[in-house]
Amino acid sequence: MKPDVTKNNKGVEFWTNKISEQEMPALCSMLRTLEQLAKDDVSSMAVLGRSVMYDNALTSKVLRVANSAIYNKGISQVTTVSRAAVVLGFDVIRNVCITAQLLTSMLENKNLSESVFQRLIRLMARAFQAAMLTKMMLADHDEAFQEEAFIAALLYHLGESAFWSTGGVVAEQLDKALQQTDDNVVKLSLVREYLGTSFNQLTLHIARSWGLGEMLLNSLNNPNERSPEVRSIYLGNKLAEALAVADSDPEQLQKRVQQAAEMLQQPVEVFQKQLLETIEATAKLAEDYGSKELVQYLPNAVDATTTLQAPPTWIARPTNLNIQLDKLRELTNLTMVKADFNQVVSVAMSGMLDGIGLDRTAVLLLSPNRKMLQPRVVMGDGDEALKKELILELDQRFSELSACIERGQGFWFNLQHKLRLPERFEKLLPENGCMFAPLKVESKVIGVFYADRASSGRDIEQQDFDSFAHFVQLTNLCLSMAYRH
């Protein structure tokens, strides 16, 4: 069913205004007030107290959390918000207030359909888990910094959470449409169709409108920045997502744990222990916030342990110079004969996998109108999935790919040297990078070679791209010789 909305009420401005002014004015007002409080202003304490003192339920939650095992380290119980701020610090209590108000506001709409409510609960559970993981990964930083990162991670998907919590016809229609597909690219298109914007853009617009702090805005605008807080917020959310689907996709969790351990420069076993402790602490804190609905959707430490101990089904291929040389010689010999297309590209791709040590590679051919790239041959980990998913509609905003097709220029990127991609390409291409190089017959580009290390999560380096480009150049020479009249 198509969305039953008029053209006038679609888009990021409409949804931001609807959420801010009609659906969640109390949350909007409180977050703006708390974010604007000066940390060194004596009057901030009084403003903080007034922000919650007239809401008995909120005051009760704040005090329960302030006296929880996570925050109250053996000191006597606090009985007022102002006293809690003195004992635990203004930043801690301010962010406890934000978290309590957010959870209350998101889950108080009683008019949601069961399906939309369950979707919202799952999303909020992941956000809460992500916030706890982010804070854990920044344990070496001061408490104010940790608390700011906690809130930024909690609000990282605020636009999506706020949309579902508003309910209504559009939410129910979109929910039903999303249930019909497992394809992430199709899901992104559906969201844009129904809302006139993406959830990411909605989050960014709400964050700006509500004045939700530089750390959140920076993490949304520059998710690939290498600063500790942005990287931790990003990985905290990715770890929470991986934990939520660990039963069906255990490899995803294993790879995220590996990435986080590398970022913190810790042995994987040390990080795993911290991860499991944080999972247990998250469930206890959710109960302290009075959000027992979240607990059943939070990950279980026992299940996570089982997943992490399972052997991965993928094995990272090492670089092997001898295999590279053998495959390059084989390609050189094929220039002497009129070898067929599949024979040439198969030799090249096996050299890329077993010689360079890549995880996946593919040949994508241009469609007759030269506006789409579709996989023709794929090899490596998850080759069938790659063949189904890696269909690329050319977009001038992805200038590097356009240059690859139009001017025959190969390119690559990795975690440190990211490209700013259109959103649909971000979802298709692995975040740790990939490589493209033009597939030519004589001087005409007919497609591209593609390669990545998506399975193992390892970075791609300059020498990997140089070797990849060498294989492609020799392949192009073989094909030009074979098709020359």
pLDDT at 89 over 80: no
Q: What pLDDT is recorded for position 309? A: 76
User: 281 Cβ partners below 8 Å, 6+ apart?
Assistant: 70, 132
Mean pLDDT of 390-395: 86
Q: What pLDDT is recorded for position 40? A: 46
Four-point Cα dihedral 339, 340, 343, 345, nearest 10: 100
pLDDT digits (tens, 9 = 90+) for 115-125: 999 999 999 99
The Cα 342–Cα 355 span in angstroms is 19
444: which strand partners? 441
pLDDT at 5 over 80: no
Per-residue b or e along 229-254, where b marks 16 or more CB atoms closer than 10 Å to that residue's CB: bbbbbbbbbbbbbbbbebeeebbbbb
Q: What is the DSSP string of 430-465?
A: -TTEEEEEEEEETTEEEEEEEEE-TTT-PPP-HHHH
Q: What sign does the CA torsion over 133, 138, 143, 144 have?
A: negative
pLDDT digits (tens, 9 = 90+) for 347-375: 999 999 999 999 999 999 999 988 899 99
What ranges in 180-249 are assigned the alpha helix state H? 184-195, 199-210, 214-221, 228-244
The Cα 475–Cα 346 span in angstroms is 10
The Cα 205–Cα 413 span in angstroms is 28
Helix (H, G, I), strand (E, B), or coil: what is residue 373?
A: strand
pLDDT classification of 53: cutoffs 50, 70, 90: low
pLDDT classification of 450: cutoffs 50, 70, 90: very high
Strands (DSSP E) contained in 338-475 are: 360-366, 372-380, 392-393, 411-414, 433-441, 444-452
| Residue 355 one-letter amino acid | G
pLDDT at 52 over 60: yes
Check residues 75 and 369 and name the one with the higher pLDDT: 369
Q: What pLDDT is recorded for position 221? A: 83
Fill in the DSSP letter of residue 360.
Answer: E
pLDDT classification of 49: cutoffs 50, 70, 90: low
Q: What is the DSSP string of 44-106?
A: HHHHHHHHHHT-HHHHHHHHHHHTSTTT--SPPPP-SHHHHHHHH-HHHHHHHHHHHHHHHHH
Per-range mean pLDDT, top range of 175-179, 251-255, 267-271: 175-179
| Residue 91 one-letter amino acid | D
Q: How far is CA 392 from CA 117, 364, 403, in A?
A: 34, 9, 15
Q: What pLDDT is recorded for position 205? A: 92
Percent of the chain exceeding pLDDT 90 equals: 37
Q: What pLDDT is recorded for position 45? A: 66
Percent of the chain exceeding pLDDT 70 equals: 91
pLDDT classification of 6: cutoffs 50, 70, 90: very low
pLDDT at 328 over 60: yes
The Cα 310–Cα 468 span in angstroms is 32
Q: Which candidate, 241, 62, 70, places its Cα nearest to that of 139?
A: 70
pLDDT classification of 8: cutoffs 50, 70, 90: very low
Q: What pLDDT is recorded for position 373? A: 92
pLDDT at 178 over 60: yes
Q: What is the pTM of this model?
A: 0.72
Q: Do the bridges between strand 433-441 and strand 411-414 make them parallel or antiparallel, or are there none, so unpaired?
A: antiparallel
Q: What pLDDT is recorded for position 314? A: 60
